[in-house]
Structures are given as structure tokens and as C-alpha cells.
Structure 1
């Protein structure tokens, strides 16, 4: 791999030209390709292969509950203030952990654990300890494991933050979205500025190794001026990583979004101005553009791994850990093994019903074929490293047949030619390099290798920008 400059360049005309609905490529094939006609035997077999290879593990626990809805949210959540529902859910997720762990070799080490939601800090301290103990009981954690949790700042205090760190969490993430009170009111996420700074102070006091915050642009009442203030205040918080997401208005999929005033949302030109300004602010503050919508400090391990060509990506986002088998626990969570993806039941009752019947609560899945694996390698290399060595790809897949890149991807070549003509990538003797202009449009570049794209409804996806 060639050393890459961390620079990202903004070209409004090209961004407008290529601004189309596309998968985010947290996986390939994307989760839209999972189908109900999937046998659990393939999942069990994939775990057995991982046992034989002693593949590292990544674990994900989905805590779906929230006390109040955030109108922008696209996650799978259960809105309730009846805290007793969490007790029932924890009993079932513990049984689910036992189900899957019984298939996994005890020699395999966990390199990564993440709790997402919903609102994981919906749980009381005793409930957090219960779930933590279940995981520790059934799996062997590496001493250097990344153990992260998402929190809602509105529902934590100093004691809770210190408790999480003492228990063993070493990374933490929370959503800011926007500092502006008018925007917060419109999206039903009231978070006073002083509270956010208190939470960050408690996190630093607790000694978390890494802190990530999320911002969203495209929300009601946002302007380039107001969002500039949000970014400035975010920089004062001094997080290690910042994610800046483009809000996808999809009320046909997420009806709760209808509660926001659509007429108050920034138009396409204003959103583009917000994005350009945000990139300038973050890069001037020495944050490195990692990819998609993620920025990190130059000494952060994500930035270091990308420079070394060792960055990876899975359903949890960018990671420095080696390729692992991801096991998802709880309703709607996704497991991602080497050649098998499965998603658990999306409804609580269906999730409970499957476990009561001593069945794995799998709702749908897909088994990857050789073509999927090859295309996944290409897409993930481009998404993570912004470059691809054709020689490395051909060497990796020489078994069984000779892979000639240009022959194999003949249908993609015209798309690559067009992308190169527009300055989004460069093709050299042994590979592809994404240009600083093309980095913001990496989803468009990756889509050139997507064999399923023409068969999907574009309404399923958010736009590139």
C-alpha cells in the first residue's frame, strides 16, 4: 500500500452530480440482501469453521429501549418508560448468549464488544452488571479488547459514568446531533450545553481511552451559521472521534420523522454548504477524514491504522481490530461471520417466542458465494484504505481459478473510466487510488463493484451526501 495524504477536497459540482441513494457498505452484500429463506444450519456451520480457524470474536449487544423518541432516529427501538420491560429482555438476551456461546470454542478470544441501541444506559447499574457478567461467563476476553458503549447524555450522572469505567468499558460514544436549542426541540432531543460539557468532563475523569461524539446535519432549523457554532462547541469538547452524519428523511420507512417540520429542513444547497464548512472546520482543527462521515485525531488508532493499510469495517463501523466473527445478541442485531450474515428477529415477541422454543432467533440471513467474497474484499479495501492493490487481490483469490481483475470486473470498467474522468479515482499499473475529491463519494466508487445494486429499491438507502 502507498502512504496516503489525509487531505479531503470538496467539489460541490461533483458532489451534486453524484449525490444519489446508495448503500453505506457496512457490509457486502448489504443487509438488504438478507432473506427469510435461510437455514440456521449455515450459521452453525460458519461458527464451527471459525472454531477450527480460531478466528477472533467481536460481540454486539442491542438494548432497544428508549424513554422518549428522537424524531430523527432510524434505529430499531422500543419507546417505553416502563423500566420493568428491561428485566424481561435481559433474561431472554442472557438465554440467547448461552445459546450461541454453546456453539463457540472457549479458546476463541473476544477482541471487541459494543453495546448499542436504543439507549444502553436505559439499564440500571445492577442490570448492566448482570449483562456484563453473562458475557464474561460465556466468553474469553482479550486483555486489550475494545469494550464500548453508547449513552444518551440526558440519562447519566457522574456516578454512572465512573461505574461503567470501573466495570471494564474503555470506550464511549454519545450523540450531540446539534447544540442549538431550537433544533433540539424540533427533533425531541433536549440536551443543554452545560449538561454535555459535564458528561464529557466525567468521561475524562473516568479515564476512558476513546470518546466518540455524533453530529447530524440536515435537521430542521439548521443553517450553515448555526451548525458552525455546533462544530465549534464540539471542538471545545475535544473528542477523539467525531461522526458527522447526513440526515436521511425517510418517513415512508420511519413514520416518526413526520413529527418534524419538513419545511424547516435545510435545502440541498444549504446542506452542501454545511458539509463543506464542517469539513473545513474539522480538518483545520487537525482531525483526519477517515471515510464516509468519520473524523479522528491524527494520533487516534483509526488514523494510524488507515495509514498502515490495516483499517477494517463491519456493521459496527470502522475498527482497527483484525477480521473477526461478529456475533450479535438481542432483537434485530446482526451477526457477520466470514461467509454468513444473519439478523435476529426484529420484534420483541418474536424474539422471545423463538428462544422459548429453544430456537436461534434468526429472522433472515444470507450465505456469501465466491463472487460476494471477492467483491467484498474490493469494496472494503476502497472504503477503508482508499486504495486497492490488484496484485494483492489476485494473489488472495488464486486458489481454484486465476483471477484477472480486468476480465473479472469487465462490467465495472466503464463505471471506473467515468469516475476516473471526473477525477474521483486514479488507476495505476497495479491498482486503484481514491483521490482527495473522491473520498467524500467513496460509496459511489464502491457501488461500481456492487453486483446487486440494480435489483434494489433506491428508497431503501440514504443519499451519498
Structure 2
């Protein structure tokens, strides 16, 4: 059930700090090169044949650079550069298929980037057909891709639909011209509307829209216009991401005028406005606040999964297919097995060298300990469902919850005093006010966060 949500700006200011997004636990900075290709192959061969698969393909190419971008991407107008990568990617698909039981059904697939819709229709069809030749896809598989409206055409949407794509996420970010020019991503509203129209014409049963708050020149009035357009498009899901300005890590972000960025308080008010607008009941089109930065229609599979206790979280965010092991292909991709993570190299020359020598793309990873599995389960329960029963954890992992997590419960007591959580002898319940600070709450159970002398660079929790 959707619970009324509100933002206490003073409380948010007090708790807003850098922290992990918990798309994994432990988080990626703790991966090590002690876990490599051979360990990954061994774990793949030993995996249960009853466990379904989820595929992630990283397609890193873009036609131009968006200044806010934090992805592993490459701007190119050279068709040969893209073809070289696709050839290596298909080789990696073959190598991975040889290492895993391909009778395991693929229940989910996602193409991210970069810009998957920068591929030509023929390239989309060829890559999709190659995957279907090597893996067994479930008839009800959720197959999605990210789309830049500037590269979307009717032919590309038709090509993706022909190989089974049924969900698409459009990167809208903001509809105001001054904001778009400041981030080098100019896309008229009519272009976005046309792209969404093609998705519906070709029977995509899930249309998502991605927005970003905290961009240069954004104001409440301007963001209202973006929300107006978004609600008029009536997508099934909406993601409202926080812009992380880290020019020390992403050099191209130095192009953005820091003076044009909203102040921390103004940025919080932008998200507050999105929360108010999207969860309100205007025109009967209210969305469910799933958590973090995700909103979905009450009848969307994401909302249903949360109601049924099957919602999951992985490197693509919230997911409906809990229990599936993720196999990631392409540069920077991170595979997520039941007991391990494996990350691909991030540089093109190293990737091509590894694929050519039949070493997959893996260069580092992490094998979970029993303690990691316990803490991951607790964190994901809180992140996905905002509630956990201690007895369930005790029965599943044979631990005394209060004794094992005594320090975490102490960490949470001030949050209980601030109305963020309710702590009882039987359970931990995240109150409506705490949903916006769920990352802070999860951090209480992160053994690495609590003990690391030097914390990795993370975005603010709100």
C-alpha cells in the first residue's frame, strides 16, 4: 500500500551524506583482482540448473557527450568502432554461453549504456538474434533497453520489438531548453512524444521515463514543466535520479558551471516537488513511490512485486525478478551470482585482448562470505520492502538477530527518535519519513561502511 509521504527538509539536511546505493553488497569498491576469470568460470559451472538467468549488455557508444554523464561510455561517429565492439561482444556471448548451463531460462534482459538506440536496426536485430541463438529465453521474459529520444526512430523501435524487447526507458532528464543546453542534451518535447508514441505503436508493454534533478539552471517552476510533460506522457514507471556532480572523477563535468547548479536546499525541494506531484492523485494518475528514486503505477509489475515481497535490487536498480543470477557482458559490466560478483574490464583495448584470448571480460570480483550473505539479505529487505521480521532472519541464517546486530540497532536508535524507523522486539519497520533516507538506514548493517578508514566516493543519500 502507498503511504502518504512528506519531506522534512531539516531532517533531510541533517542526514544527507555520501553513502552507497546498495545495488550490491558488498559494494563494488570492495571487489578485488583476487577473484578473476577462472573463479568466475568455476562458479558458473557449479551454479544450480534451477536458477534462472538475467542478462545485461553494456553498449557504451553515444553520438554526443552529455555533460552530466557518469557512465562508462564513448562518443563516436565511426561505424567501424561500433562494429569492432559488437564483434567482440558476440564472442563474449559465445564464451559465456559455453561456461553456463544454457537450459536455464533467461527471465530478464536489459541493454544499457551508453546509448543502445545508437545501434542501427540491423545491428539491433543481429545482436538480439545472436543472444536468442545462444540462450533460452522464457516466454514471459522482461526485455528492456535504455533509449535516447535523439537517436530513436520508428525503424529502431520496430527492430528491437522484433527480437523481443517489451520495455523501454527514455532518458528525458529535463524538458527546458536552457537546462538542456547547459548539459549538451537538446531534445524538443515533440521529439520525446514521438519516441514514446513509437514505443506504444510497437506494443511495448512498459514505457519508463528517466528524469534528473539537481541539473544546472533547474528551478521549481521549470521542473514543474518537466513533471507536466512527464505526467502527460503517462509512463508506467518514472525514475527521478539525483545528479551527482563529481568533476574530480568525471572530468567532462567541469564544463558545467557550478554557479548554475541548484543549492543543496533547492535541490531537495526539486525532489520534494516530484514526490508531491507523482504520488498525488491528480487525474487519477498517482504513482507508487517504490523507493530511492523509483516510482511506478500501482498495477505495474514493480508495485506488484513489492506487494508480494518479491521485489529485488541489483545493478540496474529495482527489479521484479528476484532469484535470477545476472550475467553481464561488455565493458564495465558486473555479473551477480548467488555467491559472487564479477566485473568486466573498463578499457576497450583490455576488453578486446581478454575476449580474443578467451578469458571472458572479467578482471576482478568478490566471493561473498556467510556474513556478507546475511548482511546483504537484511539490507535488501529494508531497501525493497521497508520492513523485516527478526524471526525470519533468525530462521534463515541461524543467528540471534539482536545479538548479531547490536551495534546496528544502537545506530538506529537516534533515527527512531527522529521518526524514521520503529524498532520493536520482533521487527524493524521503516516509517514513511524514513523511506527517503533508506540508504542511511541500510548503512547501519553495512560492516564495511562502519569499519573502512577511507570511504569510497559516493553520491549524497538524497
TM-score band w.r.t. shorter chain: over 0.9
Q: 1:267 aligns with which of 254, 263, 266?
A: 263
Report if the CA contact (8 A) 1:354-1:360 is conserved: yes
Match of 2:10 in 1: 13
Match of 1:159 in 2: 155
Cα deviations by residue, 1:84-134 (Å, 9 ceiling, x for unpaired): 111111111111111111111132100000000001111111111221122
Report the secondary structure of 2:160's partner residue. Answer: helix
Are residues 1:449 and 2:454 paired? no
Match of 2:118 in 1: 122
Match of 1:43 in 2: 40
Runs of 4+ in 1 over 3 A off after TM superposition: 456-459
Distance 1:457 1:264 in 2: 31
Match of 2:230 in 1: 234
Report if the CA contact (8 A) 1:75-1:117 is conserved: yes
Shift of 1:8: 2.3
TM-score (norm 2): 0.97
Distance 2:256 2:25 in 1: 32
Are residues 1:256 and 2:235 paired? no
Equivalences, count: 457
**5 Å matches for 1:271-310?**
271-285=267-281, 286-310=286-310
Match of 1:23 in 2: 20
Match of 2:132 in 1: 136
Distance 1:255 1:6 in 2: 41
Distance 1:304 1:425 in 2: 24
CA 1:53–1:393 in structure 2 vs 1: closer, same or farther (change >3 Å)? farther
Distance 1:227 1:245 in 2: 13
Report if the CA contact (8 A) 2:167-2:207 is conserved: yes
Report if the CA contact (8 A) 2:335-2:341 is conserved: yes
Shift of 1:459: 5.6
Shift of 1:457: 4.3
Match of 2:199 in 1: 203
CA 1:228–1:442 in structure 2 vs 1: closer, same or farther (change >3 Å)? same
Shift of 1:435: 0.4
Are residues 1:33 and 2:33 paired? no
Shift of 1:321: 1.2
Shift of 1:17: 0.5
Q: Which runs of 5+ in 2 are unaligned?
A: none
Cα deviations by residue, 1:53-100 (Å, 9 ceiling, x for unpaired): 421000000101111000001000011111211111111111111111
Of residues 410-419 and 92-101 in structure 1, the stretch that sits farther from structure 2 once superposed is 410-419
Match of 2:434 in 1: 438
Report the secondary structure of 2:77's partner residue. Answer: coil
Cα deviations by residue, 1:370-417 (Å, 9 ceiling, x for unpaired): 01000000000000011111111111112xxxx000111122121111
CA 1:283–1:5 in structure 2 vs 1: closer, same or farther (change >3 Å)? closer
Shift of 1:332: 0.8
Q: 1:427 aligns with which of 402, 419, 423?
A: 423
Match of 2:240 in 1: 244
CA 1:180–1:457 in structure 2 vs 1: closer, same or farther (change >3 Å)? farther
Match of 2:370 in 1: 370
Distance 1:387 1:18 in 2: 20
Match of 1:360 in 2: 360
CA 1:456–1:219 in structure 2 vs 1: closer, same or farther (change >3 Å)? farther
CA RMSD of aligned residues (A): 1.2
Match of 1:92 in 2: 88
Distance 1:377 1:355 in 2: 34
Report if the CA contact (8 A) 1:21-1:458 is conserved: no
Shift of 1:226: 0.7
Report if the CA contact (8 A) 1:21-1:459 is conserved: no
Report if the CA contact (8 A) 1:8-1:437 is conserved: yes
Report if the CA contact (8 A) 2:382-2:388 is conserved: yes
Shift of 1:160: 2.0
Shift of 1:49: 2.8
Match of 2:338 in 1: 338
